Structure 1
Amino acid sequence: MTDTVPVSQEQRGLRGFMNRGGFWRFLAFLVVYLVIYLGSGFVIGHLGGHYVDDDLLSSLGSVFLQVTASLIIGAVVLAAFSAYLGWNRELYGRQPIYRSKWMWIAPVIVATPIVLRVLGIDWGLHQADVVAMLLATGLLIGFVEELTYRGFAVKMLRDGGHGELVVAAVTSLAFALSHSMNLLGGQSITVVGPTILYTFSFGVLMYLTMRVTGFLLGAMVMHGLTDPTTMLATGGVDEVAADASSGGLLQAAGLFTMLLIISGYVLVLFIRGRVKDQRPS
């Protein structure tokens, strides 16, 4: 007579699918999430009227409808899903792997252009409510994108048994390629191409920031400060550097961004380690 081993709730259905981790399961999760996120943006775009076509920094409504609204939907979906899966402790808790001192290079490299932009931005150029909304939206970007790519993605690849070099490279590549969706929004390949190169490197630095600070929150904060200061400096979303008419500090931030891009591609080669297999038996 053969005994039947009961299957726990964590091993069945959607929870079981997600808990087994691995690249293909992460890819399936990412596709579904992006459909929801981009779909919500499409609907908002059709309901937003002239705000969707206006300059991003021209009004509170432009910032909210062009960027913030779809991020709120994405944040709610991701937060609810992580709670449903019971992953909050793993996603937001201390990283289950050692950190090396050299990894502090990453947050320093990311923080430098942020500081230069904060000092160089003309804070009186835009309405105070627009600036406040943009700063709040930046933190929301940090939460949503880091939870997706350094949260869900990293956990699922680790659960699939991959080493940290693969985890960092694949999650950063997925993060970078997701920005190719900007082509659907009308951005030219001359903008999207450099953005993809930049975001891969930035993804690596965010992974290292998470590793060295020990928590996903570290990457969320750094990411959340990068995007709004970049938008205020360049006047748009996913613009890599300020133009030639910008002040000296903003020009320096743009030059340092070039160093940021190079550093990510170099530092990823030094990533080592492997988290103990956490897949359910």
Structure 2
Amino acid sequence: MADFWQDRDGFWNRGGWWRALLVTAAYLLVYLGVGQLVGVTLGHMIIDGGPFASATNVIIELLIPIGAGALVILVFLAAIGWITPVFSRQPIGGRPWMWLAVAVVAYPIIFRFIGIDYGSFPPGVVVVTLITGLFIGIAEELVTRGAGVALLRKAGHKELVVAVISSALFALMHLVNAIGVGFSITILVLLVYTFFFGICMYLVMRVTGSIVWAIVMHGLTDPTLFLSTGGIDTAVEGAAENIWLAIAATGNIAVILFGIVALFLIRGRVLTPVAEGSALPA
């Protein structure tokens, strides 16, 4: 058991894509399991109208399951001794062009904040949704850009492979959106968008030197999407109600196009475990 959790040469420190997949699957099981449990025990408190019909709806349908997932991944990283390495400065630096990832993700957030019709939401919904976004950023970034990237680097993969596999895992996480509605073109577009959004978050983490900024930007992207469009499924279809949201909607295409170009530019490889921090130049 000690080898499984803490031994420097043990199970997790050997890294590998399938271990990253295992962490992702475990997180999803927690998220879905807690969601089912909360639905059974607190479902009677949910009112009609969707997750944003009341602050209580947001808490029950989104905040509690996501919060549980965030707690579990934090406990996991602490148990294997990876909190400090994951939150430490990135062991491989960024290039100036990677700052474009920050801009591509940031400008839709800014325009959504301007364009959101805050008065259309019941009391408390906006605040609780923003708090939920923070937990989404913590949970999903620590699973994919935290544990996932660390495990891939420990296996010795080049940074392009690290970026692609961690982003693929991030995209696959969003297959849960198909539960109950089935696979569709909308879900396919969602998977494409989330893959390239994952590439952008990887670049944000590298160029800023910290996963914290990926958490912050991710944590602002999701709630502003929810509040401006009702969810990412609507956003990727291009729906927008005013000029600010119309400008913000272009961010989805911008993320995909920039992500495609970035795949041809990502270089480098971390030579030693994340905690030691040696790397080849980017």
TM-score, L = length of structure 2: 0.90
Moved more, 90-99 or 44-53: 44-53
Distance 2:254 2:140 in 1: 22
Deviation at residue 243 of structure 1 after TM alignment: 5.5
**Number of the residue aligned with 2:204:** 209
**Number of the residue aligned with 2:280:** none
Distance 1:191 1:242, change over 3 A: closer
Moved more, 243-252 or 224-233: 243-252
Deviation at residue 276 of structure 1 after TM alignment: 1.3
**Number of the residue aligned with 1:30:** 24
**Number of the residue aligned with 1:6:** none
**2:225 is equivalent to residue 234 of structure 1:** no
Bigger-Rg structure (1/2): 1
User: What are the Cα deviations for residues 17-67 of structure 1, in whole angstroms up to 9, with x where unaligned?
Assistant: 111111122222222222222111122222323617642211011101111
**Number of the residue aligned with 1:41:** 35
Deviation at residue 187 of structure 1 after TM alignment: 5.8
- 1:44 partner amino acid: V
**1:276 aligned counterpart, secondary structure:** coil
- Aligned 8 A contact 1:21 1:160 in 2: yes
Q: Percent identity?
A: 42
- 1:109 partner amino acid: V
Distance 1:241 1:32, change over 3 A: closer
Distance 1:202 1:22, change over 3 A: same
Q: How does 1:158-197 map to 2 (within 5 A)?
A: 158-186=153-181, 189-197=184-192
Deviation at residue 171 of structure 1 after TM alignment: 0.5
Deviation at residue 173 of structure 1 after TM alignment: 0.7
TM-score, L = length of structure 1: 0.90
**1:56 aligned counterpart, secondary structure:** coil
Deviation at residue 148 of structure 1 after TM alignment: 0.6
Distance 1:144 1:277 in 2: 26
Unaligned runs of 5+ in 1: 1-8
- Aligned 8 A contact 2:196 2:256 in 1: yes
**2:118 aligned counterpart, secondary structure:** coil
Distance 1:159 1:40 in 2: 31
**2:245 is equivalent to residue 250 of structure 1:** yes
- Aligned 8 A contact 2:87 2:211 in 1: yes
CA RMSD of aligned residues (A): 2.0
Distance 2:18 2:47 in 1: 35
Distance 1:92 1:188 in 2: 36
- Aligned 8 A contact 1:149 1:175 in 2: yes
- Aligned 8 A contact 1:52 1:65 in 2: no
User: What are the Cα deviations for residues 94-126 of structure 1, in whole angstroms up to 9, with x where unaligned?
Assistant: 000121111000010000111111111112111
Deviation at residue 13 of structure 1 after TM alignment: 2.5
Deviation at residue 192 of structure 1 after TM alignment: 1.4
Deviation at residue 279 of structure 1 after TM alignment: 8.6
Moved more, 93-102 or 24-33: 24-33
- Aligned 8 A contact 1:198 1:240 in 2: no
**Number of the residue aligned with 2:266:** 271
**1:155 aligned counterpart, secondary structure:** helix
Deviation at residue 213 of structure 1 after TM alignment: 0.5
Selected match of 1:58 from 53, 56, 63: 53
**Number of the residue aligned with 1:20:** 14
Selected match of 1:219 from 214, 218, 228: 214
**2:131 is equivalent to residue 136 of structure 1:** yes
- Aligned 8 A contact 1:242 1:251 in 2: no
**2:140 is equivalent to residue 148 of structure 1:** no
- Aligned 8 A contact 2:85 2:274 in 1: no
- 2:244 partner amino acid: L
**2:217 aligned counterpart, secondary structure:** helix
**Number of the residue aligned with 2:279:** none
Moved more, 131-140 or 190-199: 190-199
**Number of the residue aligned with 1:124:** 119
Deviation at residue 188 of structure 1 after TM alignment: 5.3
Distance 1:201 1:255 in 2: 14
- Aligned 8 A contact 1:142 1:223 in 2: yes
Distance 2:274 2:211 in 1: 21
**Number of the residue aligned with 1:85:** 80
Distance 2:56 2:71 in 1: 21
Unaligned runs of 5+ in 2: 276-282
